[in-house]
Amino acid sequence: MPISADEPLLQVANLSSGYGKIVVLHGVDLTVAAGEVVALLGPNSAGKTTLLRAVSGLLPRSGSVRFAGRDLLGANARETVQAGLVHVIEGHRVFTQLAVQDNLLLAARDLPRRERASRVDEMFGLFPEIAAKRHERAAALSGGQQQILAVAQGLVRRPRLLMLDEPSAGLSPVLVDRVLEVVRQLRETGTAVLLVEQLIEKALALADRVYALARGAIVLEARTSEADLPLRLENAYLATATTETASLAIR
Ligand SMILES: Nc1ncnc2c1ncn2[C@@H]1O[C@H](COP(=O)(O)OP(=O)(O)OP(=O)(O)O)[C@@H](O)[C@H]1O
Ligand SMILES: [Mg+2]
């Protein structure tokens, strides 16, 4: 669907969400332009995963969610995926007892039948390490390769925006670099990425822009090219830590 030149691909405004009576997100504003890589950083429990879940229609939400020129606020998770916004959830696990290829076919199951095989081949073209094991069970893949397969499961639908929640979690440094290299590859294919990451420096090296989230609110938004970014980020994190210390002291 065409969107006007000045409208971002994803535009989230005044988004609030949570779990039942627990409000986690308080009026979040966030945008991602077509083809842009945006990092979403923040301390543990800041609400990063909750934000991705709310954007992808997995949680009730209020505010505004526009994607590719459409209002998605009332959309559920399936409709959101069909609109081209795909979320690879935190700790996503592949089906280890199924063949690598079948994991991808499963992810492509609601695409037209005649397209499925070519989409799966497209993934094997992008990721040779899983192509080499396409007929083996996913259990035969290393942790990093399983993570790449999880990303490929999202990508097989050719999303316009892929949201990745800590794709490097639990991986050794070499595998972390390979998984993050995948994000770089996505940029080349024109896919926009919203990346939640604990490895701040690595995320900043990849991203065009960054948001920091603390206690369910955006505390910083910047381009990664800004020279004073490390200091501003440190202050954003420190401000959170200071508030926590202060509230502990009051108790
Ligand atoms: N299912 C749930 N029910 C109730 N509260 C939840 C639920 N999931 C998360 N929370 C709470 O929401 C807040 C934000 O959690 P969230 O998982 O979004 O943080 P995060 O930034 O992704 O943290 P991490 O870096 O540890 O992954 C936390 O206080 C958490 O305890
Ligand atoms: Mg999380």
Cβ of 19 below 6 Å from ligand 1? yes
Please check whether residue 60 is in contact with residue 17, taking contact to mean a CB–CB distance below 8 angstroms: yes
Which residues line ion ligand 2, judged by CB < 5 Å?
48-49, 90
What's the confidence (pLDDT) of residue 153? 94
User: Cα(51) to centroid of ligand 1, in Å?
Assistant: 10
List of residues 6+ apart from 3 with CB closer than 8 A: 9, 34, 68, 69
What crossing angle do the helices spanning 143-155 and 100-107 adopt, rounded to 10°? 30
Return the closest-CA partner of residue 217 out of 8, 24, 20.
24
Predicted TM-score (pTM) of the model is 0.91
What's the confidence (pLDDT) of residue 54? 98
The predicted-structure confidence for 146-170, as pLDDT tens digits, reads as follows 999 999 999 999 999 999 999 888 8
Return the closest-CA partner of residue 192 out of 45, 6, 11.
11
Nearest alpha carbon, ligand 1 atom 5:
19
* Residue 249 DSSP class: H
Q: Which residue type sits at 85?
A: L
User: Cα(133) to centroid of ligand 2, in Å?
Assistant: 30
Lowest mean pLDDT, pick from 102-106, 152-156, 177-181, 189-193: 177-181
246 is written with which tokens? 């202060």
User: Cα(56) to centroid of ligand 1, in Å?
Assistant: 16
Domains of the chain plus CATH, in order, are 28-250 (3.40.50.300)
Atom of ligand 1 nearest to the CA of 42: 21
What's the confidence (pLDDT) of residue 243? 56
Cβ of 49 below 6 Å from ligand 1? yes
245 is written with which tokens? 């210390």
Cβ of 216 below 6 Å from ligand 1? no
